[in-house]
Structure formats: C-alpha cells, structure tokens
Amino acid sequence: MPAPASDTVADTAAFEADRKAILGMLGEYRVQFDFRETVILAPAYERKPDQHSGGNEVVILVEDSGDRIVLQHLLVSRDGHVTKHWRQDWQYQAGERFEFSDEQTWRLRAVPAERIAGSWTQCVFEVSDAPRYCGTGRWNHRYGVSTWTSDRGWRPLPRREYSKREDYNALNVENRHTVVPGGWTHEQDNTKTVRTADGMRTLVREFGFNDYRRTDAVDFGPAYRYWEATRGYWARVRAEWNRRLAAGGVRLDTAVDGMPVIEATFRQADRVARGESVSDGEIAAIFDRYVQVLPPEDARLGRR
C-alpha cells in the first residue's frame, strides 16, 4: 500500500491515527437511523414527525492507497436481499471537491487553502455512485476517541424526503463521525433551506443520528457474494462518473430523486450478478442520456 511522501503529511502520527479511524468503520452492523426536527426558523412552520428506520449493513473496503480510502455500504434485508447503499470516499489534504450548487447540479470547487493541511475530505455518493455531498475537516483523537467534524456544506434532499417534501430544496449540513466501542456513529446538523436566485430562506434545523453497532447475528454472506460478482461493474460506473466530474462538474437530467439512473445501473448490475456481460458502451449510454457534463469555465469556482 503506497503512502504519501513524508513531506506531504502534516503530522505522520496523526495521519496514521486518522487512517485507523477511517478503516475502523469497516465491518458488519445493525444500524439505526433517527432524524428529528428541532429549532423552528420560519414563521408558522410546524415540525414534521420524527423519522426512524433501521437495517443490517456491511461496510466493505473498495480502495486503500494510503491517502485515499473508499468504503462501500451494502444493505441486507431479512430475506437476504442485497441493496447497494451509499459510498464514502476519504481523501487526505484534498485540493478540490465537488459541491451541490443547484438543482441536480454539482460543480468542482477548490478547498480553501487554510483548511487543507492535516484535513480529510469525505465525499458521499448515491446508490448509483452519483455525487451527493463533500465535507472537509480534521480528525480529533483526544481522550482516546476518534471524531471527524466537517465544515458546513450543501447537499440535496435526502432520499427519505424526496417524494414527501416540496417546501425546501437543499440542506446545509455539518457532519460528525465518531468511532466508538462496538461501532461508530454519524451525526448530522442539518438546516432545511429554500435556495432561490434571490437568496435563501431557512425553515428548520434537524438533528440526525445514525448508530452503527457491530453484530455477528446477521448473515452478510449475500452482500459479500453480490459485491464479488458486481464490483468490476461498479468500478466501471465509478470511472464514468469520475471522468465526467473531472471535466468540471455534472448536471443530472432526471427527476429530482435521480431514479432513472439508479434503476438503469441497478438493472445492469443485476445482469452482471447473473453472469451476463454489460459493455462499456451500455454504461456510457446511461450517462449520455441522463448526465450533462458542465464546461470548465462554467463549473470550476475559485477558492472561497
């Protein structure tokens, strides 16, 4: 496993502790997802009911090249059905990241210079490997607990609200990951916001708490078998996304929840899992239909 040159690592001991924390999120878990609206910010707004769900999830290592770590989440239902879930990419001292800038639009943007040294940028991707959001921050290992806290950034509506809400169009979010005994947690400080050409209006704050508890009581064999069968396909899908994002940014030409891309890629992955072949041209056809590449002069934004 290659490691960054010593002169590019802000603190070698901290770097290794950071890597250990990120890799500590690998494994098999029972997960509880809880979201609660808290502080009302808009006149006459009424809190929506709390949202609770859960599942069985395994986190698999896709890539570890030293200063870059990629983790893939897979859900397994009680009957053994596997659903490819979200992906998290961690990059040490990243110089740029994508940001959710407008409806169905993500643009590459430089990370502010003062935030780069010693930081890790986490980018989160949709089940189809479409972009969702990135955050940059440093790990804190004091008191024997490892916690990473992001800067604030933008993300689209979560899937749990795509089909239910039309009163806001973006979340302003700070994320916190903590590796704890028996698992890890993901806390979200969310502000539900209406963004328009004329400005922004905030509705309500929301606290999200995702609790990953290790388990040996679930058979995750179907997830491992699915990933072994389809990982080559999904690597090609990631490469197609990366190629188009690297041009400066992308805009999706789909319904707000991106289901056409999800359904198309999942159908192809199912074919691959059955032993059929899917050509690069078939993958590219999905992107040609639904993913618009933004030109660099339109997409690349300067440091904030």
pLDDT tens track for 159-187: 888 888 899 999 999 999 999 999 999 99
Map 282-304 to HEC letters. Answer: HHHHHHHHHEEECCHHHHCECCC
Domain-located, residue 295: no
Residue 2 pLDDT exceeds 60: no
Domain-located, residue 243: no
Amino acid at 239: A
Q: What is the pLDDT of residue 302?
A: 43
In this prediction, residue 256 has a pLDDT band, given cuts at 50, 70 and 90, of: confident
Question: Which residues, in sequence order, are CB contacts of 194 under 8 Å at separation 6+?
Answer: 167, 168, 169, 170, 200, 201, 202, 203
Q: What is the pLDDT of residue 159?
A: 85
Q: What is the pLDDT of residue 257?
A: 78
pLDDT, tens digit, for every residue of 180-222? Answer: 999 999 999 999 999 998 899 999 999 999 999 999 999 999 9
Domain-located, residue 118: yes
Question: Which residues, in sequence order, are CB contacts of 153 under 8 Å at separation 6+?
Answer: 99, 100, 133, 134, 135, 172, 173
Residue 262 pLDDT exceeds 90: yes
CATH number at residue 109: 2.40.128
Q: What is the pLDDT of residue 164?
A: 86
Return the H-helix or E-strand segment holding 101.
Answer: strand 96-102
3-class DSSP state of 17: helix
Q: What is the pLDDT of residue 303?
A: 39
State how far the Cα of 157 lies from the Cα of 291, in Å rounded to an integer: 19
Domain-located, residue 172: yes
Domain-located, residue 152: yes
pLDDT, tens digit, for every residue of 44-83? Answer: 999 999 999 999 999 999 999 999 999 999 999 999 999 9
What does pLDDT average to over the chain? 93
Number of domains in the chain: 1
Domain-located, residue 287: no
Q: Which of 111, 98, 100, 102 is nearest to 302 (CA)?
A: 111
Domain-located, residue 58: yes
CB 60 within 8 A of CB 222: no
Domain containing 189 equals 6-217
pLDDT, tens digit, for every residue of 7-37? Answer: 567 689 999 999 999 999 999 999 999 999 9
Domain-located, residue 233: no
Q: Which of 22, 117, 98 is nearest to 66 (CA)?
A: 22
